[in-house]
Copies of this chain bind each other. A is one copy, B any other.
Amino acid sequence: MMITVDFEKRGSVGLCEFLTLSLKQQIFDGNLAAGKKLPSKRTLAIHLGVSVITVQNAYNQLIAEGYIYSIEKKGFFVAELPSAFSEQRQGHRHKPLCKQIRRVPTTKPIEYFADFSSNSTLSEKFPFNTWARVMRQVLSTNDQKLLHRQNIQGVLELRQAIAKYLLEFRDMDVSEEQIVVAAGTESLYSMLVQFLGRHKLYAVENPGYKKVAKVIEQNGATHTPIPVNTDGIDLKELQKSKAQVVHLSPTHHFPTGVVMPIGKRLQLLNWAKDPRYGERYIVEDDYDSEFRFNGKPLPTLQSKDTFGRVIYLNTFTKTLAPSFRISYMVLPQNLVEPFRQFFSMACCQVSAFEQYTLASFIEQGFYGKHISRMKNYYRTLRNNLIKAILKSRFKNATTIHEEEAGLHFLLRVQTTKTPEELEERLQEQKIRLPQLRNFYYSENSHFLAPSGESIFVVNYSGIKKEQINQIIKRLEKVF
Protein backbone atom coordinates (compact mmCIF):
# COMPACT_ATOMS: atom_id res chain seq x y z
CA MET A 1 0.00 0.00 0.00
CA MET A 2 1.40 3.34 -0.98
CA ILE A 3 0.84 6.35 1.25
CA THR A 4 -1.65 8.94 -0.01
CA VAL A 5 -1.39 12.58 0.93
CA ASP A 6 -3.92 15.08 -0.38
CA PHE A 7 -1.79 18.16 -0.90
CA GLU A 8 -4.84 20.02 -2.20
CA LYS A 9 -5.94 20.46 1.41
CA ARG A 10 -2.72 21.94 2.68
CA GLY A 11 -3.80 25.57 2.29
CA SER A 12 -0.94 27.83 3.30
CA VAL A 13 0.90 25.09 5.25
CA GLY A 14 4.36 24.20 3.93
CA LEU A 15 4.79 20.95 1.94
CA CYS A 16 7.08 19.33 4.49
CA GLU A 17 4.91 20.29 7.44
CA PHE A 18 1.77 19.04 5.75
CA LEU A 19 3.45 15.75 4.86
CA THR A 20 4.61 15.35 8.48
CA LEU A 21 1.11 16.06 9.81
CA SER A 22 -0.48 13.63 7.36
CA LEU A 23 1.89 10.83 8.28
CA LYS A 24 1.29 11.43 12.00
CA GLN A 25 -2.45 11.31 11.41
CA GLN A 26 -2.16 8.01 9.54
CA ILE A 27 -0.06 6.57 12.35
CA PHE A 28 -2.66 7.70 14.91
CA ASP A 29 -5.51 6.37 12.80
CA GLY A 30 -3.84 2.99 12.55
CA ASN A 31 -3.54 3.18 8.73
CA LEU A 32 0.18 2.95 9.30
CA ALA A 33 0.48 0.23 11.92
CA ALA A 34 3.33 -0.25 14.37
CA GLY A 35 6.32 -2.00 12.82
CA LYS A 36 5.21 -1.27 9.27
CA LYS A 37 8.02 -0.37 6.88
CA LEU A 38 7.66 3.00 5.21
CA PRO A 39 8.58 3.61 1.57
CA SER A 40 12.09 4.91 0.98
CA LYS A 41 12.52 8.65 0.77
CA ARG A 42 13.10 8.50 -2.99
CA THR A 43 10.09 6.26 -3.69
CA LEU A 44 7.73 8.38 -1.62
CA ALA A 45 9.07 11.58 -3.18
CA ILE A 46 8.41 10.34 -6.68
CA HIS A 47 5.00 8.97 -5.69
CA LEU A 48 3.88 12.26 -4.12
CA GLY A 49 5.58 14.50 -6.64
CA VAL A 50 7.68 16.32 -4.04
CA SER A 51 11.46 16.61 -3.62
CA VAL A 52 13.50 14.00 -1.75
CA ILE A 53 14.58 16.76 0.65
CA THR A 54 10.93 17.35 1.62
CA VAL A 55 10.42 13.68 2.46
CA GLN A 56 13.76 13.51 4.23
CA ASN A 57 12.89 16.47 6.46
CA ALA A 58 9.49 15.00 7.25
CA TYR A 59 11.03 11.62 8.15
CA ASN A 60 13.67 13.33 10.31
CA GLN A 61 11.03 15.27 12.18
CA LEU A 62 9.01 12.06 12.75
CA ILE A 63 12.14 10.30 14.02
CA ALA A 64 12.92 13.16 16.39
CA GLU A 65 9.41 13.04 17.79
CA GLY A 66 9.44 9.25 18.07
CA TYR A 67 6.69 8.40 15.54
CA ILE A 68 9.02 6.38 13.35
CA TYR A 69 12.47 4.90 13.70
CA SER A 70 15.18 3.97 11.23
CA ILE A 71 17.33 0.86 11.04
CA GLU A 72 20.55 1.31 9.13
CA LYS A 73 20.45 -0.17 5.64
CA LYS A 74 16.91 -1.46 6.26
CA GLY A 75 14.79 1.68 6.15
CA PHE A 76 12.14 3.45 8.17
CA PHE A 77 9.51 1.81 10.41
CA VAL A 78 6.45 2.97 12.31
CA ALA A 79 7.00 3.09 16.08
CA GLU A 80 4.64 1.53 18.58
CA LEU A 81 2.27 3.91 20.35
CA PRO A 82 0.69 2.82 23.63
CA SER A 83 -2.54 0.89 22.99
CA ALA A 84 -4.28 2.50 25.94
CA PHE A 85 -4.06 5.65 23.93
CA SER A 86 -6.52 4.61 21.27
CA GLU A 87 -9.45 6.01 23.23
CA GLN A 88 -7.82 9.41 22.94
CA ARG A 89 -7.47 9.23 19.22
CA GLN A 90 -10.56 11.19 18.46
CA GLY A 91 -8.94 14.11 20.25
CA HIS A 92 -6.27 14.23 17.57
CA ARG A 93 -7.53 15.83 14.46
CA HIS A 94 -5.78 18.14 12.09
CA LYS A 95 -6.02 21.46 13.74
CA PRO A 96 -7.73 24.05 11.55
CA LEU A 97 -5.14 25.74 9.42
CA CYS A 98 -6.05 29.20 10.56
CA LYS A 99 -6.42 28.97 14.30
CA GLN A 100 -7.97 31.82 16.23
CA ILE A 101 -6.88 32.58 19.73
CA ARG A 102 -9.88 31.97 21.94
CA ARG A 103 -10.92 35.07 23.82
CA VAL A 104 -12.86 34.26 26.95
CA PRO A 105 -14.54 37.43 28.22
CA THR A 106 -13.32 38.38 31.69
CA THR A 107 -15.89 39.35 34.31
CA LYS A 108 -15.66 43.08 34.89
CA PRO A 109 -15.21 44.31 38.48
CA ILE A 110 -17.59 47.00 39.82
CA GLU A 111 -16.55 50.49 38.72
CA TYR A 112 -16.48 52.54 41.92
CA PHE A 113 -16.85 56.29 41.95
CA ALA A 114 -14.49 56.44 44.91
CA ASP A 115 -12.40 53.61 46.31
CA PHE A 116 -11.22 53.80 49.92
CA SER A 117 -9.73 50.32 49.95
CA SER A 118 -6.11 49.86 50.76
CA ASN A 119 -4.16 49.23 47.60
CA SER A 120 -4.73 52.31 45.54
CA THR A 121 -2.45 55.31 45.22
CA LEU A 122 -2.89 58.08 42.74
CA SER A 123 -0.79 57.20 39.75
CA GLU A 124 -1.15 60.70 38.29
CA LYS A 125 1.10 61.92 41.06
CA PHE A 126 3.95 59.69 39.99
CA PRO A 127 6.87 61.78 38.64
CA PHE A 128 6.74 60.03 35.34
CA ASN A 129 8.96 62.35 33.36
CA THR A 130 11.74 62.24 35.92
CA TRP A 131 11.47 58.46 36.13
CA ALA A 132 11.59 58.19 32.34
CA ARG A 133 14.65 60.45 32.25
CA VAL A 134 16.48 58.35 34.84
CA MET A 135 15.48 55.21 32.95
CA ARG A 136 17.01 56.62 29.77
CA GLN A 137 20.19 57.52 31.63
CA VAL A 138 20.40 53.97 32.97
CA LEU A 139 19.68 52.54 29.52
CA SER A 140 22.45 54.56 27.95
CA THR A 141 25.15 53.88 30.52
CA ASN A 142 24.67 50.51 32.13
CA ASP A 143 23.92 48.20 29.24
CA GLN A 144 26.11 45.21 30.15
CA LYS A 145 25.45 45.35 33.87
CA LEU A 146 21.72 45.30 33.21
CA LEU A 147 21.88 41.85 31.69
CA HIS A 148 23.75 39.97 34.35
CA ARG A 149 22.15 37.59 36.75
CA GLN A 150 21.49 39.12 40.17
CA ASN A 151 22.17 37.48 43.49
CA ILE A 152 19.29 36.88 45.89
CA GLN A 153 19.76 40.20 47.70
CA GLY A 154 19.46 42.38 44.61
CA VAL A 155 21.57 44.98 42.84
CA LEU A 156 24.36 46.39 45.04
CA GLU A 157 23.78 50.00 43.94
CA LEU A 158 20.14 49.85 45.00
CA ARG A 159 21.00 48.36 48.36
CA GLN A 160 23.57 51.10 48.92
CA ALA A 161 21.01 53.75 48.00
CA ILE A 162 18.47 52.22 50.39
CA ALA A 163 21.03 52.07 53.22
CA LYS A 164 21.85 55.76 52.73
CA TYR A 165 18.18 56.65 52.57
CA LEU A 166 17.41 54.73 55.77
CA LEU A 167 20.25 56.52 57.52
CA GLU A 168 19.09 59.93 56.41
CA PHE A 169 15.34 59.57 56.74
CA ARG A 170 14.81 56.75 59.18
CA ASP A 171 17.87 57.16 61.37
CA MET A 172 18.76 53.51 60.81
CA ASP A 173 22.42 52.57 60.69
CA VAL A 174 22.49 49.50 58.48
CA SER A 175 24.87 48.10 55.90
CA GLU A 176 23.84 47.20 52.36
CA GLU A 177 24.88 43.66 53.29
CA GLN A 178 21.80 43.40 55.48
CA ILE A 179 19.38 44.47 52.77
CA VAL A 180 17.33 42.08 50.61
CA VAL A 181 15.38 43.48 47.66
CA ALA A 182 12.36 41.47 46.52
CA ALA A 183 9.36 41.66 44.23
CA GLY A 184 6.80 42.99 46.69
CA THR A 185 6.11 42.54 50.38
CA GLU A 186 4.34 39.23 49.79
CA SER A 187 7.57 37.81 48.37
CA LEU A 188 9.39 38.92 51.50
CA TYR A 189 6.79 37.24 53.74
CA SER A 190 7.15 34.03 51.71
CA MET A 191 10.92 34.09 51.91
CA LEU A 192 10.79 34.73 55.64
CA VAL A 193 8.46 31.79 56.33
CA GLN A 194 10.70 29.54 54.24
CA PHE A 195 13.83 30.85 55.93
CA LEU A 196 12.67 31.08 59.56
CA GLY A 197 10.79 27.79 59.21
CA ARG A 198 7.22 26.71 58.65
CA HIS A 199 7.18 24.74 61.89
CA LYS A 200 7.17 28.06 63.76
CA LEU A 201 3.98 29.77 64.93
CA TYR A 202 3.49 33.25 63.47
CA ALA A 203 1.59 35.89 65.40
CA VAL A 204 -0.29 38.53 63.42
CA GLU A 205 -2.16 41.62 64.54
CA ASN A 206 -5.95 41.43 64.98
CA PRO A 207 -7.34 43.48 63.31
CA GLY A 208 -4.65 43.61 60.71
CA TYR A 209 -3.43 43.21 57.19
CA LYS A 210 -4.97 39.83 56.37
CA LYS A 211 -2.74 39.19 53.41
CA VAL A 212 0.10 38.44 55.84
CA ALA A 213 -1.82 35.54 57.35
CA LYS A 214 -2.75 34.33 53.87
CA VAL A 215 0.87 34.22 52.74
CA ILE A 216 1.93 32.49 55.97
CA GLU A 217 -0.74 29.85 55.34
CA GLN A 218 0.11 29.42 51.67
CA ASN A 219 3.66 28.75 52.76
CA GLY A 220 2.50 25.98 55.04
CA ALA A 221 3.00 27.68 58.40
CA THR A 222 0.40 28.49 61.06
CA HIS A 223 -0.64 31.93 62.23
CA THR A 224 -2.35 33.09 65.39
CA PRO A 225 -4.16 36.44 65.60
CA ILE A 226 -3.27 38.59 68.64
CA PRO A 227 -5.55 41.47 69.72
CA VAL A 228 -4.36 45.03 69.20
CA ASN A 229 -5.10 47.43 72.06
CA THR A 230 -4.93 51.21 72.05
CA ASP A 231 -1.15 51.02 72.46
CA GLY A 232 -0.54 48.21 69.99
CA ILE A 233 -0.37 44.44 70.16
CA ASP A 234 -1.38 42.80 73.45
CA LEU A 235 1.89 41.52 74.93
CA LYS A 236 0.28 39.20 77.45
CA GLU A 237 -1.68 37.50 74.69
CA LEU A 238 1.45 37.33 72.58
CA GLN A 239 3.36 35.66 75.41
CA LYS A 240 0.49 33.23 76.02
CA SER A 241 0.19 32.34 72.34
CA LYS A 242 3.64 30.66 72.25
CA ALA A 243 4.29 32.33 68.89
CA GLN A 244 7.94 32.56 67.90
CA VAL A 245 7.62 35.22 65.24
CA VAL A 246 5.39 38.27 65.35
CA HIS A 247 4.47 40.47 62.40
CA LEU A 248 3.47 44.01 63.27
CA SER A 249 3.43 47.65 62.22
CA PRO A 250 4.37 49.53 65.41
CA THR A 251 4.74 52.96 63.83
CA HIS A 252 1.29 53.07 62.32
CA HIS A 253 -0.84 50.02 62.81
CA PHE A 254 -3.00 48.94 59.90
CA PRO A 255 -5.91 49.66 59.95
CA THR A 256 -6.43 51.33 63.35
CA GLY A 257 -3.52 53.75 63.09
CA VAL A 258 -2.37 52.92 66.64
CA VAL A 259 1.24 53.91 67.43
CA MET A 260 3.17 51.72 69.84
CA PRO A 261 4.82 53.85 72.56
CA ILE A 262 8.48 53.42 73.43
CA GLY A 263 7.76 51.60 76.70
CA LYS A 264 5.85 48.89 74.93
CA ARG A 265 8.45 48.69 72.18
CA LEU A 266 11.13 47.95 74.73
CA GLN A 267 8.89 45.31 76.33
CA LEU A 268 8.43 43.77 72.92
CA LEU A 269 12.19 43.66 72.38
CA ASN A 270 12.48 42.00 75.78
CA TRP A 271 9.93 39.42 74.64
CA ALA A 272 12.03 38.71 71.56
CA LYS A 273 15.36 38.39 73.33
CA ASP A 274 14.14 36.27 76.25
CA PRO A 275 16.66 33.40 76.18
CA ARG A 276 14.21 30.92 77.69
CA TYR A 277 12.23 30.69 74.47
CA GLY A 278 14.82 30.09 71.77
CA GLU A 279 14.99 32.36 68.77
CA ARG A 280 12.08 34.73 68.60
CA TYR A 281 11.78 37.30 65.86
CA ILE A 282 9.88 40.52 65.27
CA VAL A 283 8.96 41.38 61.69
CA GLU A 284 8.55 45.16 61.71
CA ASP A 285 6.42 46.25 58.77
CA ASP A 286 7.09 49.97 58.32
CA TYR A 287 4.80 50.21 55.30
CA ASP A 288 3.79 53.87 55.39
CA SER A 289 6.13 55.53 57.86
CA GLU A 290 7.15 58.04 55.18
CA PHE A 291 3.82 59.78 55.59
CA ARG A 292 4.00 61.14 59.09
CA PHE A 293 2.62 64.64 58.80
CA ASN A 294 4.01 66.34 61.89
CA GLY A 295 7.38 65.99 63.55
CA LYS A 296 10.02 63.48 62.59
CA PRO A 297 9.19 59.91 61.61
CA LEU A 298 9.05 57.70 64.68
CA PRO A 299 12.15 55.63 65.36
CA THR A 300 11.94 52.01 64.26
CA LEU A 301 12.08 48.97 66.48
CA GLN A 302 14.99 47.90 64.31
CA SER A 303 17.07 50.87 65.47
CA LYS A 304 16.52 49.89 69.12
CA ASP A 305 17.32 46.24 68.59
CA THR A 306 20.73 45.30 69.93
CA PHE A 307 20.01 41.57 69.96
CA GLY A 308 19.48 40.84 66.29
CA ARG A 309 15.82 40.01 66.66
CA VAL A 310 14.12 42.55 64.40
CA ILE A 311 13.61 42.11 60.67
CA TYR A 312 12.61 45.42 59.14
CA LEU A 313 10.34 45.55 56.06
CA ASN A 314 9.37 48.40 53.77
CA THR A 315 8.08 48.86 50.25
CA PHE A 316 8.17 51.25 47.32
CA THR A 317 4.66 50.23 46.26
CA LYS A 318 3.02 52.72 48.63
CA THR A 319 5.37 55.57 47.82
CA LEU A 320 5.80 55.21 44.05
CA ALA A 321 2.98 53.30 42.37
CA PRO A 322 1.14 50.01 42.84
CA SER A 323 2.76 48.58 39.71
CA PHE A 324 6.21 48.81 41.33
CA ARG A 325 6.88 45.44 42.79
CA ILE A 326 9.92 46.48 44.77
CA SER A 327 10.11 45.94 48.49
CA TYR A 328 13.04 45.31 50.78
CA MET A 329 13.94 44.04 54.19
CA VAL A 330 16.80 44.66 56.57
CA LEU A 331 18.07 41.53 58.24
CA PRO A 332 19.91 41.63 61.55
CA GLN A 333 23.64 41.01 60.98
CA ASN A 334 23.44 37.54 62.54
CA LEU A 335 20.91 36.37 59.93
CA VAL A 336 22.73 37.65 56.83
CA GLU A 337 25.02 34.67 56.30
CA PRO A 338 22.40 31.99 57.11
CA PHE A 339 19.97 33.73 54.75
CA ARG A 340 22.51 33.72 51.92
CA GLN A 341 23.25 30.07 52.51
CA PHE A 342 19.60 29.18 52.53
CA PHE A 343 18.87 30.96 49.26
CA SER A 344 22.22 30.27 47.63
CA MET A 345 20.58 28.78 44.54
CA ALA A 346 17.97 31.52 44.13
CA CYS A 347 18.26 34.93 42.58
CA CYS A 348 16.55 38.27 43.02
CA GLN A 349 13.25 38.42 41.18
CA VAL A 350 13.13 42.14 40.56
CA SER A 351 14.11 43.37 37.10
CA ALA A 352 17.74 44.50 37.24
CA PHE A 353 16.87 47.38 34.99
CA GLU A 354 14.27 48.70 37.39
CA GLN A 355 16.62 48.21 40.32
CA TYR A 356 19.30 50.34 38.67
CA THR A 357 16.73 52.97 37.77
CA LEU A 358 15.40 53.14 41.31
CA ALA A 359 18.93 53.27 42.73
CA SER A 360 19.73 56.26 40.57
CA PHE A 361 16.34 57.85 41.31
CA ILE A 362 17.07 57.66 45.04
CA GLU A 363 20.74 58.68 44.68
CA GLN A 364 19.89 61.79 42.70
CA GLY A 365 17.47 62.86 45.44
CA PHE A 366 14.32 62.44 43.34
CA TYR A 367 12.84 59.92 45.72
CA GLY A 368 13.23 62.18 48.77
CA LYS A 369 11.67 65.05 46.84
CA HIS A 370 8.82 62.86 45.67
CA ILE A 371 8.07 61.71 49.23
CA SER A 372 8.07 65.25 50.54
CA ARG A 373 5.81 66.44 47.72
CA MET A 374 3.44 63.52 48.32
CA LYS A 375 3.41 64.20 52.05
CA ASN A 376 2.21 67.75 51.40
CA TYR A 377 -0.27 66.52 48.86
CA TYR A 378 -1.71 63.86 51.18
CA ARG A 379 -1.80 66.23 54.14
CA THR A 380 -3.90 68.72 52.16
CA LEU A 381 -6.11 65.98 50.78
CA ARG A 382 -6.71 64.53 54.25
CA ASN A 383 -7.41 67.97 55.74
CA ASN A 384 -9.91 68.74 53.00
CA LEU A 385 -11.64 65.40 53.43
CA ILE A 386 -11.84 65.77 57.22
CA LYS A 387 -13.08 69.37 56.91
CA ALA A 388 -15.77 68.21 54.50
CA ILE A 389 -16.85 65.44 56.90
CA LEU A 390 -17.04 67.92 59.78
CA LYS A 391 -19.30 70.17 57.70
CA SER A 392 -21.50 67.34 56.41
CA ARG A 393 -25.04 66.54 57.45
CA PHE A 394 -23.77 63.51 59.36
CA LYS A 395 -21.07 65.47 61.24
CA ASN A 396 -22.77 65.05 64.62
CA ALA A 397 -22.93 61.31 64.25
CA THR A 398 -19.23 60.83 63.50
CA THR A 399 -15.87 60.85 65.26
CA ILE A 400 -12.53 60.77 63.45
CA HIS A 401 -9.60 58.83 64.90
CA GLU A 402 -6.28 59.68 63.37
CA GLU A 403 -2.69 60.01 64.33
CA GLU A 404 -1.35 62.70 62.02
CA ALA A 405 0.19 59.90 60.11
CA GLY A 406 -0.26 57.41 57.33
CA LEU A 407 -2.70 57.29 54.50
CA HIS A 408 -5.75 56.10 56.40
CA PHE A 409 -7.87 57.09 59.39
CA LEU A 410 -10.85 55.64 61.23
CA LEU A 411 -14.32 57.12 60.90
CA ARG A 412 -16.71 56.13 63.67
CA VAL A 413 -20.35 56.62 62.75
CA GLN A 414 -23.41 56.36 65.01
CA THR A 415 -25.97 54.46 63.04
CA THR A 416 -28.78 52.01 63.60
CA LYS A 417 -28.09 50.31 60.27
CA THR A 418 -26.49 46.89 60.24
CA PRO A 419 -23.05 46.50 58.70
CA GLU A 420 -24.64 44.59 55.82
CA GLU A 421 -27.14 47.38 55.14
CA LEU A 422 -24.35 49.93 55.18
CA GLU A 423 -22.31 47.91 52.76
CA GLU A 424 -25.23 47.57 50.40
CA ARG A 425 -26.01 51.27 50.51
CA LEU A 426 -22.38 52.20 49.93
CA GLN A 427 -22.30 49.92 46.95
CA GLU A 428 -25.43 51.59 45.55
CA GLN A 429 -23.58 54.87 45.81
CA LYS A 430 -20.53 53.27 44.14
CA ILE A 431 -18.41 54.04 47.16
CA ARG A 432 -15.99 51.41 48.36
CA LEU A 433 -15.44 52.08 52.05
CA PRO A 434 -14.28 49.06 54.07
CA GLN A 435 -15.47 48.55 57.62
CA LEU A 436 -13.04 47.89 60.44
CA ARG A 437 -14.78 44.59 61.20
CA ASN A 438 -13.52 43.24 57.85
CA PHE A 439 -9.97 43.40 59.16
CA TYR A 440 -10.62 41.12 62.10
CA TYR A 441 -9.72 37.44 61.98
CA SER A 442 -12.68 36.63 64.17
CA GLU A 443 -15.57 38.93 64.87
CA ASN A 444 -15.94 38.61 68.64
CA SER A 445 -13.02 40.86 69.43
CA HIS A 446 -13.18 43.57 72.07
CA PHE A 447 -12.09 46.26 69.62
CA LEU A 448 -15.34 46.02 67.67
CA ALA A 449 -17.70 48.95 67.66
CA PRO A 450 -20.50 48.82 70.22
CA SER A 451 -23.95 48.32 68.71
CA GLY A 452 -25.34 51.52 67.26
CA GLU A 453 -21.96 52.33 65.78
CA SER A 454 -19.95 51.39 62.74
CA ILE A 455 -16.29 52.06 62.17
CA PHE A 456 -14.88 52.61 58.69
CA VAL A 457 -11.29 52.51 57.51
CA VAL A 458 -10.80 55.55 55.30
CA ASN A 459 -7.83 54.98 53.05
CA TYR A 460 -7.90 58.20 51.12
CA SER A 461 -4.73 57.94 49.06
CA GLY A 462 -6.54 57.06 45.84
CA ILE A 463 -9.17 59.83 46.08
CA LYS A 464 -9.08 63.07 44.10
CA LYS A 465 -9.69 66.46 45.70
CA GLU A 466 -12.39 67.27 43.15
CA GLN A 467 -14.33 64.17 44.23
CA ILE A 468 -14.70 65.16 47.89
CA ASN A 469 -17.96 67.15 47.60
CA GLN A 470 -19.58 64.40 45.59
CA ILE A 471 -18.34 61.75 48.03
CA ILE A 472 -19.83 63.63 51.00
CA LYS A 473 -23.19 63.97 49.19
CA ARG A 474 -23.23 60.24 48.54
CA LEU A 475 -22.23 59.43 52.12
CA GLU A 476 -25.04 61.68 53.38
CA LYS A 477 -27.44 59.45 51.49
CA VAL A 478 -25.90 56.36 53.08
CA PHE A 479 -25.82 57.38 56.75
A270 lies within 8 A of B84 (CB): yes
User: Which residues of B sit under 8 angstroms from A84, Cβ to Cβ?
Assistant: 267, 270
A211 lies within 8 A of B263 (CB): no
- Given the known interface contacts A175-B102, A218-B194, the answer about A64 and B123 at a Cβ–Cβ threshold of 8 Å is no
**What is the oligomeric copy number?**
2
User: Which residues of B sit under 8 angstroms from A60, Cβ to Cβ?
Assistant: 294-295
Whether, in the assembled complex, A180 has its beta carbon less than 8 Å from a beta carbon of chain B, the answer is no
Stretch binding the partner chain, chosen from A319-327, A430-438, A448-456: A319-327
Q: Which residues of A, 141-160, contact B by the 8 Å Cβ criterion?
A: 143-144, 146-150, 160
A101 lies within 8 A of B160 (CB): yes
B322 lies within 8 A of A148 (CB): yes
The answer for the CA separation of A124 and B294 in the assembled complex, in Å, is 51
Whether, in the assembled complex, A203 has its beta carbon less than 8 Å from a beta carbon of chain B, the answer is no
User: Which residues of B sit under 8 angstroms from A346, Cβ to Cβ?
Assistant: 186
A323 lies within 8 A of B352 (CB): yes
User: Which residues of B sit under 8 angstroms from A57, Cβ to Cβ?
Assistant: 295
- Measured as residues with beta carbon below 8 angstroms from the partner, the interface class of chain A is 35 or more
Stretch binding the partner chain, chosen from A47-55, A132-140, A375-383, A470-478: A132-140
User: Which residues of B sit under 8 angstroms from A262, Cβ to Cβ?
Assistant: 65-67, 79, 81
A351 lies within 8 A of B324 (CB): yes
- Given the known interface contacts A64-B295, A79-B261, A259-B64, the answer about A351 and B351 at a Cβ–Cβ threshold of 8 Å is yes
- Given the known interface contacts A147-B123, A194-B219, the answer about A306 and B101 at a Cβ–Cβ threshold of 8 Å is no
- Given the known interface contacts A85-B270, A323-B148, the answer about A347 and B184 at a Cβ–Cβ threshold of 8 Å is yes
